[in-house]
Amino acid sequence: MTIISKPKYLNDKAYAQIKELIIKGELKGPMVSENELADLLGMSRTPIREALLKLASENFVEIYPRKGIYIKQMTVAETNNVMDVRLAIELFSIEKLSAVFADEHLERLEALVEEQQKMYEESKVYEFIKSDLEYHSYLLQLTGNDYFVKILGNVSDRCFHHGMKIFQDLSRIQMSIDDHILINENLKKRDFDMVRSVMEQHILKGKQHFLS
């Protein structure tokens, strides 16, 4: 069993908490200070500083010495790049599904859609986005390519904050769920060409929402 040292644990805890605050849009920005974050999380500045360095490497923040931390918003160019990456890996992965897809996989996807429908009915935007990511990640996991899953996680993290804004329009959540239902129906038929077509339109619609 690996023993995690306390400093490492605090660094990871600070990183996870600050990242979640950014994603949920709960940090008053666009500038914050290390002291503000330390007070908010009840930690010393050392783990806060380490967490911010990691978040800066992931393009969530920019650090300005003696000035503060700037919470970065996604640019149009970054949004285009992120959605193009999703399009490439998710459409490619569907080509691999035909050799491995089974009824038990469909059961998992249908359960996720039921979960998403409940979240829509309860207006739980944050929880819906997490479930949406799990749906897409699960399809990638079935290909056996862990790099695809990691890439999707990284790019989706950058989209999460913006997603919290666009999915305040709950009709967009329902549209996303409807697409997932259609994907599942075609997976059940093993019509992978149609699955690919629906997924492509699904991601392109998401791209339009992010850029609107």
Domain count, the chain: 2
Query: Locate tokens 């129906």: which residue?
Result: 185
162 and 180, same domain (yes or no) = yes
Which residues neighbour 69 within 8 Å (Cβ) at sequence distance 6 or greater? 31, 32, 33, 34, 37, 52, 61, 62, 63
Distance between CA 90 and CA 76 in Å, rounded?
A: 21
- Domain boundary (71, 90, 116) is at 71
Tally of CB atoms within 10 A around 32: 20
* pLDDT tens-digit series, residues 11-47: 999 999 999 998 888 887 789 999 999 999 999 999 9
* pLDDT tens-digit series, residues 165-175: 889 899 999 99
Max alpha carbon distance in the chain (Å)?
Answer: 60
Mean pLDDT to the nearest integer, 189-196: 97
Which residues neighbour 16 within 8 Å (Cβ) at sequence distance 6 or greater? none
- Domain boundary (71, 95, 112) is at 71
- Residue 47: give its domain's CATH number: 1.10.10.10
132 and 191, same domain (yes or no) = yes
- Residue-level pLDDT at 7: 53
Distance between CA 53 and CA 65 in Å, rounded?
A: 12
177 and 129, same domain (yes or no) = yes
- Residue 91: give its domain's CATH number: 1.20.120.530
33 and 98, same domain (yes or no) = no
81 and 131, same domain (yes or no) = yes
Q: Is the pLDDT of residue 1 over 70?
A: no
* pLDDT tens-digit series, residues 78-121: 888 989 999 999 999 998 998 999 999 999 999 999 999 999 99
The whole-model pTM stands at 0.83
21 and 88, same domain (yes or no) = no
125 and 82, same domain (yes or no) = yes
Residue 1 lies in a domain: no
Query: Cα dihedral angle (53, 57, 62, 68), rounded to 10 degrees?
Result: 0
- Domain boundary (26, 51, 71) is at 71
Would you say 30 and 61 are in contact if contact means Cβ atoms under 8 Å apart? no
* Strand segments (E) across the chain: 31-32, 61-64, 68-71
107 and 191, same domain (yes or no) = yes
Residue 147 lies in a domain: yes
Query: pLDDT-derived band of residue 195, with 50, 70 and 90 as boundaries?
Result: very high
Q: Is the pLDDT of residue 4 over 60?
A: no
Which residue range(s) make up the domain with 52? Answer: 6-71
82 and 102, same domain (yes or no) = yes
